Amino acid sequence: MNRIITLFIISLTIAAGCSRQTTSSAPALSPVEPTDLQTVRTLCLVELRNNTAYPQISADVTDSLYQALQKKQIPGLSMLHQNEAAWRNLKIRPDTDFTLEQLLETRKILGVDAVIIGTITSFSPYPHMAMGIQMKLIDLRDGRVICAIEQIWDTADKATEKRIKKYFEKQLRQGFAPLDEKLATLSTINFVRFVTYDVAETLKPEKN
């Protein structure tokens, strides 16, 4: 009976978590409240699953996101690649529900308080850059989904163009030129950096 009650409480907590299901035309992502991460001492970024026809994109996006989160000074941040045994042994997936036992097992395998799991749902380098990502930041101690992101970034969309421009204005103030922002729509590397910067802003906003 206690186990049933515990699982019921976890399901209610998950349902109450931060959930984002938007497209590139939506306003910029709303950041997680800083207090949501204050008790998380260790966090593992699990290499994203890949539902696209581009095998390398999951590693590229995950590595770029890891670097973006490092700049946010996330405490106890680590990364797990797909070629590691622990990745293959994980029972929780970004697109399915999970149980208390799976959460405890995942925490035991990774040795962290929280985990970021997700999937690259789409990627298109032409005729224009576009990418879709589903992602969850999960507290493994109680099953709380601190934040869930479902987002599409499309360079053909005016809202995305504006966010790319703001990205370059903020990150590349030194030597910034109007033409620079076009690099994100022409270069896969720069587009990935923009997307992962956008995600990192959501997961860990800058301190004022």
Across 120-132, average pLDDT: 93
pLDDT value at residue 93: 85
In this predicted structure, the answer to whether residue 172 has a pLDDT above a threshold of 80 is no
pLDDT value at residue 12: 35
pTM, full prediction = 0.78
Rounded to whole angstroms, the Cα distance separating 154 from 174 reads 26
Half-sphere exposure of 181 (CA within 13 A, CB side): 15
> What integer best gives the mean pLDDT of the chain?
79
Question: What's the residue count for the chain?
Answer: 208
Across 5-20, average pLDDT: 39
pLDDT value at residue 30: 45
Across 45-72, average pLDDT: 95
- Name which of 162, 155, 156 is nearest 192 in CA terms: 155
In this predicted structure, the answer to whether residue 174 has a pLDDT above a threshold of 90 is no
- E strands within 59-177? 77-80, 114-124, 130-139, 145-154
pLDDT value at residue 165: 83
Judge whether 145 and 136 are in contact, CB under 8 Å. yes
Of the candidate ranges 93-97, 153-157, 192-196, 202-206, the one whose mean pLDDT is the lowest: 202-206
What domains lie within the chain, and their CATH numbers? 2-203 (3.40.50.10610)
pLDDT value at residue 208: 41
Rounded to whole angstroms, the Cα distance separating 76 from 85 reads 21
Helix 188-203 vs helix 158-171: crossing angle, to nearest 10? 80
| Dihedral (Cα; 55, 119, 204, 7), 10-degree rounding | -150
pLDDT tens for residues 128-160? 899 999 999 999 998 888 888 999 999 999 888
